[in-house]
């Protein structure tokens, strides 16, 4: 995080204020704004990963003990399908928002409050159908907030700082996964875990909202709304924008690898490692170790990428490190092996998280539709959550178990590393 500070632009001030292109995109951002943005992102990740790492798995185990894996796959799959649609739609709506405080902040407020409401629904759920409904609400609302927060980066951050900011957003992501797991573990039960995550998600967004640094859009500058044009905008032809298409595909492959690696971690410790009755604690320990090495590399990787002006080589090597971690999980199914794999996975994913985000902001097709376009990129985050349980459940049950599962995860990471070389406009 940089030390230099810049005043938040007043509504309507600066280049691009009338078009919504992003008034602050050429002005260096200061540490307070980056910190507030990262904290708001932390709240979103806690709202997601407290449930994903532990709470949903425990709830599935309580409500359907004989079908826990299938129940978890159903809940997370339906929720991720909602996420896949919600992110680009809310991103596109934020591109067109004309509120006085800016285009993005209203969606941050609505999204975090709605996400907290969904977590409270989950806290009181006693049927699988209610769990599905609550998790869909969480995904719908938190994706509105996440789409707005993500779009704020190309709105406000110049390209020379995007690796740095991507690094700090990576810190907030891994800290959110760790804190969400910790809160879910120590809260004193499933319902309490959901409630604590809900409160934290809302409070974490407050500093960012109060800073009021946003890109306003004048009502007369907003184009007329037509359903046909709005829906057609969600298809970006990879023949016209090949770098955007390759960036989407490589991110999808890397996130599918990571989702497969982490989504069944609780069951991996229970069924393959035979960790014992305290598998929740084992998940927390592995998540903390993963966070330790990720935090050691995520900001440094982003800064070095900014200074060198290169992105692709960092993404390639980080993907190969991730594949090495999944190979360890495939062949070394002991507690020691899981510890070493978690440390290696953090090293690779830390660099990847920071640098790939900066790379993505460099290949967006248009400045006016950043929220929509980043929402489409974020489908590459959500779709793996839909596919991972669909892929993982039959592999674990019928086609080779956890060895085959983590071998597949490694192959996907290698594919993502190789294909990033097809991006031409970014060094």
Extents of the domains making up the chain:
31-219+228-422
Summarised one tens digit per residue, pLDDT across range 175-190 is: 888 788 888 888 888 9
H-state helical runs in 157-225: 162-186, 190-211
Q: Give the list of residues 6+ apart from residue 109 with CB closer than 8 angstroms, or none.
A: 205, 209
Q: Which distant-in-sequence residues (6+ apart) come within 8 Å of 399 by Cβ?
A: none
407: left (phi over 0), alpha (psi -120 to 50) or beta: alpha
Share of the chain above pLDDT 70, in %: 93
Q: Are 424 and 311 in contact (CB under 8 A)?
A: no
Per residue in 32-66, pLDDT tens? 999 999 999 999 999 998 898 789 988 998 888 88
Poorest-confidence range of 14-28, 207-221, 303-317? 14-28
pLDDT band at 143 (very low <50, low <70, confident <90, very high): very high
418's CB contacts (< 8 A; 6+ apart) are 316
pLDDT in tens, 246-270: 989 998 999 899 888 877 788 889 8
Q: Report CA-CA distances (Å) from 403 to 14, 257, 326, 341.
A: 55, 14, 9, 14
Which residues, 6+ apart, have CB-to-CB distance to 264 below 8 Å? 69, 392, 396, 402, 405
What distance in Å separates the CA atoms of residue 242 and residue 362, rounded to the nearest whole number?
A: 13
Q: What is the pLDDT of residues 275-289, one digit of tens each?
A: 877 787 888 889 889
Unique residue bearing structure tokens 């979103």: 44
- Contact yes or no for 215/23 (Cβ under 8 A): yes
Confidence of residue 26 (pLDDT cuts 50, 70, 90): low
Residue range 105-129: mean pLDDT, rounded: 96
Number of other CB atoms surrounding residue 63 within 10 Å: 17
| Residue 1: pLDDT over 50 | no
Indicate the range of 70-74, 204-208, 249-253, 318-322 predicted with least confidence: 70-74
Q: Is the confidence at residue 164, as pLDDT, over 70?
A: yes
Say which CATH class 31-219+228-422 falls into: mainly alpha
Rounded-to-integer distance, Cα 47 and Cα 60, Å: 18
Cα Dmax for the chain: 63
Statement: residue 106 has pLDDT above 60: yes
């Amino acid at each position: 995080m940089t030390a230099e500070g810049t005043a938040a632009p007043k509504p309507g001030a600066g280049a691009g204020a009338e078009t919504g292109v992003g008034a602050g995109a050429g002005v260096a951002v200061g540490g307070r704004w980056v910190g507030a943005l990262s904290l708001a992102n932390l709240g979103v990740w806690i709202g997601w990963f407290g449930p994903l790492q532990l709470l949903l798995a425990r709830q599935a185990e309580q409500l359907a003990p004989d079908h826990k894996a299938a129940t978890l796959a159903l809940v997370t799959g339906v929720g991720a399908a909602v996420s896949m649609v919600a992110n680009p739609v809310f991103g596109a709506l934020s591109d067109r928002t004309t509120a006085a405080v800016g285009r993005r902040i209203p969606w941050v407020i609505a999204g975090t409050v709605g996400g907290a409401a969904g977590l409270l629904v989950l806290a009181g759920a006693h049927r699988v159908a209610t769990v599905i409904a609550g998790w869909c609400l969480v995904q719908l609302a938190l994706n509105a907030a996440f789409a707005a927060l993500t779009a704020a980066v190309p709105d406000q951050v110049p390209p020379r700082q995007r690796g740095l900011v991507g690094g700090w957003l990576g810190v907030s992501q891994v800290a959110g996964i760790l804190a969400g797991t910790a809160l879910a573990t120590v809260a004193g039960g499933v319902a309490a875990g959901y409630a604590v995550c809900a409160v934290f998600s809302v409070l974490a967004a407050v500093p960012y909202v109060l800073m009021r640094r946003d890109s306003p859009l004048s009502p007369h500058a907003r184009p007329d709304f037509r359903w046909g044009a709005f829906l057609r905008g969600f298809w970006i032809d990879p023949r016209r924008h090949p770098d955007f298409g390759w960036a989407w595909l490589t991110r999808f492959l890397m996130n599918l690898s990571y989702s497969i690696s982490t989504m069944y971690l609780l069951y991996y410790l229970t069924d393959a490692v035979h960790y014992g009755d305290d598998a929740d604690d084992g998940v927390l320990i592995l998540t903390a170790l993963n966070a330790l090495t990720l935090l050691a590399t995520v900001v440094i990787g982003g800064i070095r990428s900014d200074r060198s002006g290169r992105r692709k080589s960092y993404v390639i090597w980080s993907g190969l490190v991730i594949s090495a971690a999944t190979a360890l999980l495939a062949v070394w199914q002991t507690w020691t092996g899981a510890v070493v794999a978690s440390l290696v996975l953090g090293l690779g994913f830390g660099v990847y998280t920071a640098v790939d985000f900066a790379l993505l902001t460099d290949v967006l097709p248009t400045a006016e539709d950043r929220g929509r376009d980043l929402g489409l990129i974020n489908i590459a985050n959500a779709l793996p959550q839909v596919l991972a349980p669909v892929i993982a459940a039959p592999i674990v049950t019928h086609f080779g178990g956890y060895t085959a599962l983590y071998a597949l995860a490694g192959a996907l990471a290698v594919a993502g590393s190789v294909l990033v070389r097809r991006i031409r406009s970014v060094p």
